[in-house]
Amino acid sequence: MKRGGLAAVLALLALASGAAWWWWSRPVPGPVHGRPAQGPRSGYPSDPSDASRRLVEALHDSLDKSDLLKLLDEPVSTGYDFSSGEKVRTYREVYRTPNRLDPKRLALALDASARKEGAALLGSAWRDETGGDRVYDCRFGFGAWGPVTIAFREIHGPRLAVVIDDAGYAAGETLEGFWNLKVPATVAIIPALEFSTRISQEAPSHGWEVICHMPMEGHEAVADGVYRWILKRTTHPGIVTETLSGALSGLPNCKGMNNHQGSRATEDRDLMLQVGHFLRSRGLFFLDSRTTDRTVAYATIKGVGVPAVERNVFLDNEEEVPAIEKQMAKVVALAKRKGQAVAIGHFRHITQQALAEVLPKVKAQGVRLVYLSELVK
């Protein structure tokens, strides 16, 4: 072979070798734990529309089992993509991020659900360095086609937690009105009332967090039998745990506790110590409703290692919409000044009506509504 021809052949071999090396060493986005298992379901689905539907259902089922509050932060956005020549609808869902979100654990759960449908989770990461949206992309065909994107939105800036006390006495129109607010909020349920268990069961599906509104002895006399479970200064130390356990037994999904009345009980350090030790053993947080200026509940319970926070403003001591709006303006200003604040309202139609009018204005003022659990320290 002539020298020129040999050089050309060698050049072609070098080019082919370089191309092969590039192909095998190129960066390819991979799922959380390797590629989907090889087989007929590991590539493109034969029926993309049905596969997309089943994937959405599987991911939602996984979220429901992850102890998360699925509250959309914006309407679901839809679009279209093409798979195997078929026009298929795609979905993007953005949820509020509660502070107990474990990104790695959620990624594993979503990936496991996606793989059952022949897809896989191709990683998850914050959209930018400051937080924003944590995005989970679930795709078919080794990442080529992704009909579902789920994002969890982290909240920054001044934060306000709204707690609705005294739930459990009634349901009906007022309850539906609160659910329809479609905001992150916390409902404090008095245990062992007619609707206590029902509301506690339903709350997470409406994006509401549940805490126990624990009856405690106040300065005002309460007739015996009004509450099945109540803590008094005279409650024997051996009965405190039994009382608190009984109260929680009918409140599924409960994440914390605050005091109902309790102006005398929360002044008793020994009683609050027992409450604190119980809450710590159950992994629950505490809100001091501050029904007395002499309360020691917050300091005592926080002192034994329980995440806790104090109420800043009561919204509806005056049961009129203008008065509630005035109190809301006060707590919003406090949140802006201190970075966070807690407002307590009550399970009343007038309160629900006022919140429906004023809450859309809160976000416009740069204050974000959050769950109470996001403010405890």
289-318 per-residue burial string, b: 16 or more CB within 10 A, e: under 16:
bbbbeebbbbebbbebebbbbbbbbbbbee
Give the least confident one: 38-42, 116-120, 173-177. Answer: 38-42
Query: 157: which DSSP letter?
Result: S
Q: Are 330 and 311 in contact (CB under 8 A)?
A: no
- 298: nearest Cα among 279, 283, 315: 279
Q: What per-residue confidence (pLDDT) applies to 153?
A: 83
Q: What per-residue confidence (pLDDT) applies to 71?
A: 87
For the chain, what are the domain ranges? 48-153, 159-374
Reported as a single tens digit per residue, the pLDDT across 233-264 is: 999 988 999 999 999 999 999 999 999 999 99
The answer to whether residue 307 scores a pLDDT higher than 70 is: yes
Structure tokens, 236: 């024997």
Q: What per-residue confidence (pLDDT) applies to 142?
A: 67
Q: What per-residue confidence (pLDDT) applies to 3?
A: 53
> CA 80, CA 89: separation in Å to the nearest integer?
4
pLDDT-based confidence at 83, cuts 50/70/90? low
130-139, 310-319, 360-369: which is most confident: 310-319
Count how many Cα atoms sit within 13 Å of the Cα of residue 289 in the half-sphere of its side chain: 29
pLDDT-based confidence at 284, cuts 50/70/90? very high
CA quadruple 181, 186, 192, 193: dihedral positive or negative?
Answer: negative
CATH number of 159-374: 3.20.20.370
Reported as a single tens digit per residue, the pLDDT across 177-227 is: 999 999 999 999 999 999 999 999 999 989 999 999 999 999 988 878 899
Long-range contacts from 240-246, C-beta under 8 angstroms, 24+ separation: 240/271, 240/274, 240/275, 240/278, 241/274, 241/278, 244/214, 244/275, 244/278, 245/278, 246/191, 246/192
Q: What per-residue confidence (pLDDT) applies to 221?
A: 80
Q: What per-residue confidence (pLDDT) applies to 23?
A: 39
Reported as a single tens digit per residue, the pLDDT across 105-154 is: 888 889 999 999 999 988 676 554 445 688 888 888 766 778 889 988 87
Which residue has tokens 């009506």? 353
Q: What is the mean pLDDT of residues 280-307?
A: 98
Give the least confident one: 12-16, 146-150, 209-213, 368-372. Answer: 12-16
Q: What per-residue confidence (pLDDT) applies to 41?
A: 42
What value, to the nearest 5°, has the Cα angle with vertex 96 and ends 94 and 101?
A: 110
Beta-strand relationship, 159-167 and 131-140: unpaired
Q: What is the mean pLDDT of residues 163-169?
A: 98
> CA 317, CA 350: separation in Å to the nearest integer?
11
Written as one string, the DSSP assignment of 35-85 is SPPSSTTSSS-SSHHHHHHHHHHHHHHHHHTTT----BSSPPEEEEEEETT
Structure tokens, 41: 């379901």
Q: Are 256 and 284 in contact (CB under 8 A)?
A: yes
Share of the chain above pLDDT 70, in %: 84
pLDDT-based confidence at 6, cuts 50/70/90? low
Reported as a single tens digit per residue, the pLDDT across 60-75 is: 998 888 777 888 888 8
Give the least confident one: 36-45, 100-109, 252-261. Answer: 36-45
pLDDT-based confidence at 4, cuts 50/70/90? low
Q: What is the mean pLDDT of residues 84-101?
A: 79
Please state, rounded to an integer, the average pLDDT across all residues of the chain: 86
Which residue has tokens 């966070």? 340
Q: What is the mean pLDDT of residues 35-50?
A: 59
Reported as a single tens digit per residue, the pLDDT across 317-344 is: 999 999 999 999 999 999 999 999 999 9
12-16, 48-52, 368-372: which is most confident: 368-372
> CA 339, CA 160: separation in Å to the nearest integer?
9
Q: What per-residue confidence (pLDDT) applies to 13?
A: 52
The amino acid that residue 246 corresponds to is: G
User: In Å, what is the CA distance from 80 to each residue of 26, 75, 135, 344?
Assistant: 29, 17, 19, 44
